[in-house]
Amino acid sequence: MKKIRICTIGAGFFAGFMHGPVLRALAQRDPALELAAVCDLDAERAKTFAAATGYRNWYTDFREMLDSERPDGVVLLTPVTATAAVGSAVLAAGYPAMLEKPPGRNR
């Protein structure tokens, strides 16, 4: 069975409260889903999030994470001020992405 490898960028409060636990539950239910890695600028937060939600690895640089992990998809949970820049970089690198927020505060 081919694994579907997911990486997450952003491990803030809402990610830890909502997205992380839901993704953990999905991965427990479906052995094809692999929570490969999470990235956050705060190393301790990334490490704590990974341990609490079942991600195998954690990073503080999303480009390094993408280069190392080569995921099948990326869940982007960054603040709205960073969503456009980080999301554009993820898409430009060729990875499908799910953006939790709009790509900007206005059009």
Question: DSSP assignment of the chain, as one string?
Answer: ---EEEEEE--SHHIIIIIHHHHHHHHHH-TTEEEEEEE-SSHHHHHHHHHHHT-SEEES-HHHHHHHH--SEEEE---HHHHHHHHHHHHHTT--EEESS-SSS--
CATH of residue 33's domain is 3.40.50.720
Asked whether residue 105 is domain-assigned, the answer is no
Instruction: Tell me the whole-structure pTM to 2 decimals.
Output: 0.93
Q: Which residues lie closer than 8 Å to 43 by C-beta, 6 or more apart?
A: 58, 60
Mean pLDDT within 39-49? 98
Taking the C-alpha atoms of residue 105 and residue 72, their distance in angstroms, rounded to an integer, is 28
95 inside domain: yes
List the domain range (segments joined by +) for residue 28: 4-99
Per residue in 70-79, pLDDT (tens digit) is: 999 999 999 9
What is the reported pLDDT for 89?
97
Total domains present in the chain: 1
Q: Is residue 33 part of a domain?
A: yes
Residue 104 domain-assigned (yes or no): no
* Percent with pLDDT over 70 in the chain: 98
